[in-house]
């Protein structure tokens, strides 16, 4: 039997808000206003179980409509909203407020190493240029088979990890070698080359290896594991790069 | 919920507006005339392999060298002209020191080359730093080799 005191307590608990006050510290840049980027603080009430993207939505919808960021599916699969949250590259739609120490301001910046166009939006062209350079599509010789190209479960397993890439650029923009001059292919391009190099159905592995053997290919990797740490899909990026290096050495010589 | 915002626009007239936006930093990896062509050589691969292999050999050579010079048989105080002359009388120690000199210098030079590639931002800085590095490496390697091969214990 519930005593009146516990009932009172229950009622008090149910009326207190589960929302907490969080400060978002957002890196703003608008080339139509100023040449420099600056920090701007926003305070909002938010459920700690919500995500950083929900916080950005609250800011954009209720406080400052000029805040600019990319997001499409908002459920961690389109790869649009990679940003640097509390100094670490993550997807805003997969980062919960409660996992970020909400008592301190949550910093939100655009990903590094790419040109900032406005607020959190960067120019992704160089990133996709590197991606296109590794020919991320199936290349075969001879006549097309009349039915689908089969492969064994083991052959599929060989490159399973690198098929998970969503091209969010969290890995490439966390790579210190990419930060320098942006000429390095970057982890994402190598991951997507790996996906085809180790595919038993593909026949252009040699060409892709040749491309990645170049001056700005896999040999510029310094094995810092920033990419593996940053990947929101949990791909072992550094391991994939290492496997491409090994393939270059063992497969050809 | 009121926003505690820093003033977004100050009162002074901004240099930039919709028709005259501030210049953004040039995109990396943009294909320009200055973009280097693909080289299609295996130089970087051999460089990477050399670092791993020479590293393994250098662990033995350098630790052995340090042990002999600094720890065994009286420590560093024994090292003098006579000690060096005695060791270089044997072709084994000559070969040891020669291999150690070449591997250590090339290993270090290649490491510094990658450091310069990673950290120097301007092409001219990169060019001159690497030239300086290569000059210093060639000088040290040649001088060391010359001394090992032409060492004369009877010099006065």
* Residue pLDDT, tens place only, A135-194: 999 999 888 889 999 999 999 999 999 999 999 999 999 999 998 878 899 999 999 999
Structural domain contains residue B59: yes
CA A168 to centroid of chain Cα atoms: 4
**Chain A partners within 8 Å of B49 (Cβ):** 249
Residues 133-152 of B with CB under 8 A from A: none
Q: What share of chain A is helix, strand, coil (3-state, %, to 5)?
A: 40, 15, 45
Q: Which of A181, A242, A247 to mutate to test the interface with B (most CBs of B within 10 A)?
A: A181
**Chain A partners within 8 Å of B129 (Cβ):** none
**Cβ of B4 under 8 Å from any chain A Cβ?**
yes
A112 burial type by CB count under 10 A (0-12 exposed, 13-18 middle, 19+ buried): middle
**Chain B partners within 8 Å of A42 (Cβ):** 3-5
Structural domain contains residue B2: no
Nearest to B118 among A114, A180, A217 (CB): A180
User: A1: distance to nearest CA of chain B, Å?
Assistant: 41
Residue A220 in contact with residue A214, Cβ under 8 Å? no
**Cβ of A207 under 8 Å from any chain B Cβ?**
no
Structural domain contains residue B34: no
- Tell me, what's the ipTM? 0.77
Cβ distance A180 to B121 less than 8 Å, yes or no, reads yes
Residue A238 in contact with residue A164, Cβ under 8 Å? no
In this structure, what token pair is assigned to residue B10? Answer: 């100050």
Cβ distance B36 to A43 less than 8 Å, yes or no, reads no
Q: Tell me the C-alpha distance between A113 and A172, whole Å.
A: 8
Q: Find the domain containing B118 and state its range.
A: 43-150
Q: Let me know whether A215 and A246 are in one domain.
A: yes
Give the number of domains in chain B: 1
Q: Tell me the C-alpha distance between A105 and A85, whole Å.
A: 11
A19: Cβ contacts below 8 Å, ≥ 6 apart: A45, A46, A47
In which element (H, E) is residue A28 found?
Answer: strand A20-28
Q: What's the distance, Cα to Cα, between the start and end of chain A in Å?
A: 80
- Is pLDDT of B2 > 50? no
Q: Let me know whether A58 and A111 are in one domain.
A: yes
- CB pairs below 8 Å between A and B: how many? 113
Cβ distance B48 to A123 less than 8 Å, yes or no, reads no
Q: Let me know whether A118 and A134 are in one domain.
A: no
Give the number of domains in chain A: 2
Give the CATH number of the domain where residue A61 resides: 3.10.20.30
Average confidence score pLDDT of chain A: 91
Nearest to B22 among A31, A215, A217 (CB): A31
**A122, β-bridge pairs:** A116
**CA distances for A175 relative to A237, A245, B11, B145, angstroms:** 11, 17, 39, 40
Q: Find the domain containing A174 and state its range.
A: 125-252
Domain boundary residue among A87, A122, A157?
Answer: A122
Kindly state the percentage of chain A with pLDDT values over 90. Answer: 79
Q: Let me know whether A91 and A78 are in one domain.
A: yes
- Is pLDDT of B5 > 80? no
**A84, β-bridge pairs:** A89, A109
**Cβ of B124 under 8 Å from any chain A Cβ?**
no
Identify the three-state secondary structure at position A83. Answer: strand
- Search chain B and give the residue with CA nearest A130: B29
pLDDT in tens, chain A (253 residues): 556 677 777 777 666 778 999 999 999 999 998 889 999 999 999 999 999 999 999 999 999 999 999 999 999 999 999 999 999 999 999 999 999 999 999 999 999 999 999 999 999 999 999 999 999 999 998 888 899 999 999 999 999 999 999 999 999 999 999 988 788 999 999 999 999 999 999 999 999 999 999 888 899 999 999 999 999 999 999 999 999 999 999 876 5
Structural domain contains residue B13: no
- Search chain B and give the residue with CA nearest A44: B1
Structural domain contains residue A11: no
φ and ψ at B5, to 5 degrees? -110, 150
**Cβ of B38 under 8 Å from any chain A Cβ?**
yes
Identify the three-state secondary structure at position A45. Answer: strand
In this structure, what token pair is assigned to residue A28? Answer: 């703003």
Give the CATH number of the domain where residue A243 resides: 1.10.1060.10
Identify the three-state secondary structure at position A81. Answer: coil
> What are the helix (H) ranges across chain A?
4-15, 52-58, 125-133, 153-158, 176-181, 187-197, 205-212, 226-230, 237-252
**CA distances for A183 relative to A4, A72, A112, A121, angstroms:** 70, 28, 14, 21
Structural domain contains residue A133: yes
**Cβ of A41 under 8 Å from any chain B Cβ?**
yes
> DSSP class of residue B122?
S
As a whole number of Å, the CA-based R_g of chain B is 27
Predicted local confidence at residue A38, as pLDDT: 94
Identify the three-state secondary structure at position A20. Answer: strand
> DSSP class of residue B77?
G
**A26, β-bridge pairs:** A40, A108
Q: Which of A33, A130, A169, A220 to mutate to test the interface with B (most CBs of B within 10 A)?
A: A33
Structural domain contains residue B14: no
Report the interhelical angle of B43-66 vs A237-252 (nearest 10°).
100
Q: Let me know whether A64 and A170 are in one domain.
A: no
**Chain A partners within 8 Å of B53 (Cβ):** none
Q: Let me know whether A107 and A135 are in one domain.
A: no
Domain boundary residue among A93, A122, A151?
Answer: A122
Residue A53 in contact with residue A81, Cβ under 8 Å? yes
Structural domain contains residue B98: yes
The pTM of the full predicted model, rounded to 2 decimals, is 0.83
- Is pLDDT of B33 > 80? no
Nearest to B5 among A32, A41, A62 (CB): A41
Domain boundary residue among A82, A104, A122?
Answer: A122
Nearest CA to B130 out of B100, B109, B152 is that of B109
Give the CATH number of the domain where residue B86 resides: 1.20.1300.10
């Amino acid at each position: 039997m519930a005593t009146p005191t516990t009932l009172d307590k229950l009622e008090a608990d149910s009326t207190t808000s589960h929302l907490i006050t969080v400060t978002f510290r957002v890196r703003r840049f608008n080339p139509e206003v100023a040449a420099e980027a600056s920090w701007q603080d926003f305070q909002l009430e938010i459920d700690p179980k919500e995500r950083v993207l929900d916080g950005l939505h609250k800011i954009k919808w209720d406080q400052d409509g000029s805040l600019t960021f990319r997001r499409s599916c908002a459920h961690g699969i389109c790869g649009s909203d990679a940003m640097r949250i509390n100094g670490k590259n993550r997807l805003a739609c997969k980062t919960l407020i409660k996992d970020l120490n909400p008592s301190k301001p949550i910093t939100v910046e655009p990903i590094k190493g790419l040109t900032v166009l406005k607020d959190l939006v960067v120019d992704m062209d160089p990133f996709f240029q590197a991606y296109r350079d590794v020919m991320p599509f199936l290349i075969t010789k001879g006549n097309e088979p009349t039915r689908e190209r089969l492969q064994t479960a083991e052959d599929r397993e060989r490159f399973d990890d690198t098929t998970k890439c969503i091209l969010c650029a969290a890995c490439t923009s966390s790579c210190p070698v990419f930060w320098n001059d942006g000429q390095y292919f970057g982890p994402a391009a190598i991951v997507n080359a790996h996906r085809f190099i180790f595919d038993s159905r593909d026949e252009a592995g040699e060409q892709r290896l040749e491309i990645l053997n170049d001056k700005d290919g896999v040999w510029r990797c310094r094995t810092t594991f920033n990419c593996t740490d940053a990947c929101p899909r949990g791909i072992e990026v550094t391991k994939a790069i290492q496997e491409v290096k090994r393939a270059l050495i063992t497969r050809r010589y | 919920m009121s926003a505690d915002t820093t003033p977004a626009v100050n009162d002074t007239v901004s240099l930039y507006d919709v028709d005259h936006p501030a210049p953004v930093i040039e995109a990396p990896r943009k294909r320009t005339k200055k973009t280097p062509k693909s080289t299609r050589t295996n130089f970087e691969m051999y460089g990477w392999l050399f670092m791993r292999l020479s590293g393994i050999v250098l662990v033995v050579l350098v630790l052995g060298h340090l042990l002999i010079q600094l720890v065994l048989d009286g420590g560093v105080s024994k090292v003098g002209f006579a000690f060096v002359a005695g060791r270089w009388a044997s072709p084994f120690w000559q070969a040891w020191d020669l291999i150690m000199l070449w591997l250590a210098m090339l290993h270090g030079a290649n490491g510094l080359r990658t450091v310069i590639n990673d950290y120097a931002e301007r092409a001219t800085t990169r060019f001159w730093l690497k030239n300086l590095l290569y000059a210093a490496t060639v000088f040290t390697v040649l001088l060391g080799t010359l001394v090992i091969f032409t060492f004369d214990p009877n010099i006065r």
